[in-house]
Amino acid sequence: MDKEQVAGLFMRGQDCGQVVISHYADKLGISFDEANRIASAFGGGSGIGETCGAVIGAMLVIGMKYGHSGPDEMENREVLMSVRAAFMEKWKERHGSCMCRDLLGDDISDPEGLARILEAGTMLDLCPELVLDSISILDDILESCSEKAE
């Protein structure tokens, strides 16, 4: 996937988190449709400029792959926390923040801020790069985890 393909998905209505999790749908054992529905509420930093959807998409992938489902799964929880921390460390090294409004340089939840973001072309320029970076970080981490498991 490249920047133009991600921008094309945005133009068809997908958000950052949806692109990230749907990229991994087959590996997670879910359909493209299910992946998109799972992440559908997180676009635009959950609509209020909070955590970037590309980060949330990554957290959903990490949770689906390494998550725990009950109180007796502490070993799984430790793996999850480790993988989550590794992702966030790499993300913050590269981008400084995981907040949508910080990354975009304006508040997407404010109509005037959204207009400025759209006018500047930030969503079709920066956001695809953030999605691709999220996928790249996840690929590195998932590969590293697979190698450790062998």
Q: What is the pTM of this model?
A: 0.92
The amino acid at residue 32 is F
114 burial class (0-12, 13-18, 19+ CB within 10 angstroms)?
middle
pLDDT mean across residues, the chain = 92
Give the Cα separation of 48 and 17 in Å (integer): 14
The amino acid at residue 25 is A
pLDDT, tens digit, for every residue of 58-68?
999 999 999 88
pLDDT (0 to 100) of residue 147? 66
The set of residues, in sequence order, having a beta carbon less than 8 Å from that of 63 and lying 6+ positions away, is: 80
pLDDT (0 to 100) of residue 148? 66
The set of residues, in sequence order, having a beta carbon less than 8 Å from that of 80 and lying 6+ positions away, is: 62, 63, 66, 67, 68
Q: Which regions of the chain are under pLDDT 70?
A: 147-150
pLDDT (0 to 100) of residue 62? 96
The set of residues, in sequence order, having a beta carbon less than 8 Å from that of 6 and lying 6+ positions away, is: 19, 127, 128, 131, 132
The amino acid at residue 135 is I
pLDDT > 70 in the chain, percent: 97
